[in-house]
Amino acid sequence: MFTKILIANRGEIACRIIKTARVMGIATVAVYSDADCTALHVEMADEAVYIGPAPSNESYLVVDNLIQAAIDSGAQAIHPGYGFLSENAEFCRQCAAHNISFIGPPVEAILAMGSKSAAKTIMADAGVPLVPGYHGEDQSSNTLKLEANKIGYPVLLKAAAGGGGKGMRSVFSEAEFESALESAKREAISSFNDDIMLVEKYLLKPRHVEIQIFCDSHNNAVYLFERDCSVQRRHQKVIEEAPAPGITQTLRLQMGDAAIKAAQAINYEGAGTVEFLLDSKGNFFFMEMNTRLQVEHPVTEMITGQDLVEWQLIVSAGGHLPSSQSELKINGHAFEARIYAEDPDQDFLPSTGKLNLLQPPSESANVRVDTGVVEGDDVSIYYDPMISKLIVWDTDRDRALTRLANALSEYRISGLITNIGFLYNIATSNAFRAADVDTGFIEEHEEEIFRKREQDISYAAPLVTAAILKLRTQKALHDAHQSNEPNSPWHLTCSWGITQQQIKAQVQQAIIDGMPNPQTSLDKVTIVDEGASFDLFTPQGFFHCAEVQPDLGLDGQDLDSGSLKAPMNGTVVASFVNVGEHVSKGEVLMVMEAMKMEHAITAPSDGMVIEFYFRHGDLVDGGAELLAFEADNT
């Protein structure tokens, strides 16, 4: 076994790997950029090596710096984590060239699966079922369009080098094809520096079910069952679970066998995931194989009781798989929710800032939090905005789901916008409880998940009022206790000009009137006082309520015209209209990119752009005015 390994990654996955290495008595070397000098993974590791400036292409993605760091620190192996260089064949090759073990598959396997197109050809030859599509070499727009027409709409354009849902566009008609292709290619170039595209039939309402496989260098291969990752936004996983609900033992066996077949077709070694789309009739189709540890591996660990990082280390060091297929069993049910710094109400726009308050739920045998940040850390523009992964386990799906909702309602983060409320709404929705999942889940249940606030306000308002009253009463009691004159009238909470009893009676009445379910009481509600606002976790979902100052119309501005502001720090990657050209409401004027994701700036009404303040390639601060716009009626 290795005695020292270097972890070529950061954040929660670096911390996760360090934990297992420590248990196994293996020393760890962290690497860090300028942005991560005081990061948790640096603190946790036995040693740390500086590898460059904050942007990942100048640090975490620089092969030479990482290899040098391993040589200098005397590490015998490198764990690449996920993302960054984990599926980079050149990195794997350089490790071998310097006699360093790469904790991952052989380079040939990475190469074989590195391109989604090439992978499909190999899988077709191995008899693994595929989604119908074009994965050929001719990349002219014309050919791609002809192929799309042949497949029949809707189709999905995918970057062959893709990952993380980037460089992917669904196309519903021929008319949309060209602009979708352009946009997908642009995102692919910026994310992967490669814009080779494949076209697939876009399956409607499939489930994403993936199989965790493991192989060693002694010809042993097992699958550690499946994960359902259907709940996605922008083709990216949001909540994952294991086992997949409603999967029969027969289907599990068939998918497991197909996954092993896929792995054996490329002489695989180590941890891998074979991703399938599963239709409602139980047909499954190979999508891609990820030749690394997945973000969502903890749900598999929870139901199998295995430590997959330990398995990786054993296999990389030439050992045998710790368990045979017959020894592996599913025990209970697990969920993982990805806690992100992002705004679900603004199309999941990443948010940045300081984690002023960070209080995760307490960990236990049922609740696990994998994170790489601590209170006071910044979520910067440089890296993925994931704050942590919340993983829960219980004996069955229902119980595990209740644990998930409870743990989410205990999570306290302030300083930036997170998706916790959104995750809570999914966890408490009837559809998710009924395990009615497919990859369109979020769109299909938009109403329930995003909670049309106008409709729910009659439900939330009395609760908030009661909550405010409760908090103020508690504070007043506390102040009275602290005071020399506990009976002073200044400690009463009747600042609204009526007595406390009257307020209480009014609130009680409002609660009874306003609640769809009168059994709901404040006891079932978690209230988080954020100072100027309140977060409510109720059985009906999450509410964020703020006290709004009355609008006196003093600085009102016409929202239809004037300036349009950058929604975040980012780069202008395209503008679609000319100054003075007439546009319709909703038309895309400009595209910005942040954290390798595109965000469209659209016309707020019919009108025209008077001036663009930024051009292609410009770096823009969030909140900066992007352009001057004149609406038709002004």
Q: Which residues are catalytic?
A: 292
Q: Give the C-alpha separation, 309 to 329, whole Å.
A: 18
Nearer to ligand ADP, 259 or 367 (CB): 259
Which residue intervals of 340-445 are DSSP H helices? 397-410, 420-427, 430-433, 441-444
Nearer to ligand ADP, 87 or 394 (CB): 87
Contact assessment for residue 269 and residue 105, using Cβ atoms and an 8 Å cutoff: yes
Give Cβ neighbours of residue 559 (< 8 Å, ≥ 6 apart).
Answer: 604
What count of other Cβ atoms lies within 10 Å of the Cβ of residue 264?
A: 14
Nearer to ligand ADP, 2 or 285 (CB): 285
**Shortest CB 188 distance to ligand ADP, Å:** 10
What count of other Cβ atoms lies within 10 Å of the Cβ of residue 63?
A: 16
Q: Among candidates 273, 265, 263, 317, which has minimal Cα distance to 296? A: 273
What does the binding site for ligand ADP look like in residue numbers (CB under 6 A)?
131, 156, 158, 162-166, 168, 200-203, 206, 208, 232, 235, 275, 277, 287-288, 439
DSSP string computed for 196-249: -EEEEE--SS-EEEEEEEEE-TTS-EEEEEEEEEEEEETTEEEEEEESPTT--H
Nearer to ligand ADP, 208 or 333 (CB): 208
Tokens 């790997």 belong to residue:
17
**Shortest CB 538 distance to ligand ADP, Å:** 30
Nearer to ligand ADP, 234 or 491 (CB): 234
**Shortest CB 160 distance to ligand ADP, Å:** 10
Contact assessment for residue 17 and residue 377, using Cβ atoms and an 8 Å cutoff: no
**Shortest CB 380 distance to ligand ADP, Å:** 23
Q: Give the C-alpha separation, 49 to 40, whole Å.
A: 14
**Shortest CB 232 distance to ligand ADP, Å:** 5
Helix and strand numbers, DSSP H then E, in the chain: 18, 34
Nearer to ligand ADP, 197 or 620 (CB): 197
Task: Kindly tell me the burial class for residue 232, based on how many C-beta atoms sit within 10 Å of its own C-beta (0-12, 13-18, 19 or more).
Answer: buried
**Shortest CB 287 distance to ligand ADP, Å:** 5
Exposure on the CB side of residue 280, measured as CA atoms within 13 A? 8
Contact assessment for residue 419 and residue 339, using Cβ atoms and an 8 Å cutoff: yes
